[in-house]
Amino acid sequence: MNRQIKIAPSLLAADAARLADEVKKVENAGAEWLHLDIMDGHFVPNLSFSAQTVAALRPLTRMYFDVHLMITDPVGYMDSFVDAGADIVTVHKETADDETLRKIAEHLHSRGVKAGISVKPKTPIETVAGLLDVFDMVLIMTVEPGFGGQSYMKDMDEKIKWAAKMANTKYPNLEVEVDGGVGVKTAALAAGSGANVLVAGSAVFGAADASAAVKEIRGIGETAAANI
Ligand code: DX5
Ligand code: ZN
């Protein structure tokens, strides 16, 4: 597979008192995407930031805004994130039936943004098979959603391979994103299984030198992808 690796630092791991500086830091570090984790205290046992924060950050950067909705009511809130400047909005498979999920994707497209579908670690990846004709991205969770800084679950590799195979065989524009515990020690596992978008929270924002971290993770990912 020959798809460009994109690095998506997760703002959840940034210094919350200095978000504007942190966004600039990872943009200058060469990250193409900014991963924005939205939590409602219901779908996951944590809260994060709102559409208001996303909107406040939008004018500061040209990075692609990758909004990951970990909320039980994506239908009720997705438009506020489109209005806030999201480029892609990802919803969870576990939050709605397939008919609703299809309508979500179609609605997001009608509003001019891309749509992603995500699976928690215990959700089989095959459950999204009938949705890939309308979604632009599959996001495979490699930690239980809710918190940054957890360890990468290596046994998600088969799910990544399945999604990459779908991209290679049926849906050439499908992005395959991996989220949770990705860093210099695990980027090869994710990219070597076929992921092309690597979310990295603590590995980038927690690094002494964010530019070096982005460069290193990208290099490891590109090498692993080239050897598939
Ligand atoms: C977890 C979030 C992740 C998280 C990743 O619920 O979806 O995006 O911020 O953080 P790290 O890279 O630190 O595991
Ligand atoms: Zn996320």
Residue 1 has pLDDT above 80, yes or no: no
Architecture of domain 6-226: Alpha-Beta Barrel (3.20)
Q: Give which of 3, 25, 6, 23 is closest to 212, Cα–Cα.
A: 25
Q: Where are the alpha helices (DSSP H) in 29-169?
A: 51-57, 74-83, 98-110, 157-169
Per-residue pLDDT averaged across 141-170, rounded? 98
Q: Give the global pTM.
A: 0.98
Nearest CA to ligand 1 atom 6: 145
> pLDDT tier at 125 (50, 70, 90 boundaries)?
very high
Asked whether residue 171 carries a pLDDT value surpassing 90, the answer given is: yes
The mean pLDDT value for 62-86 works out to 98
Nearest atom within ligand 1 for CA of residue 143: 1
Residue 188 has pLDDT above 90, yes or no: yes
Can you read off the two tokens belonging to residue 25? Answer: 């830091």
pLDDT of 32 reads 98
Q: Give me the chain's average pLDDT, please.
A: 97
- Position 2 scores a pLDDT of 52
Ligand 1: lining residues by beta carbon, under 6 Å: 10, 12-13, 35, 37, 68, 143, 145-150, 179-182, 199-203
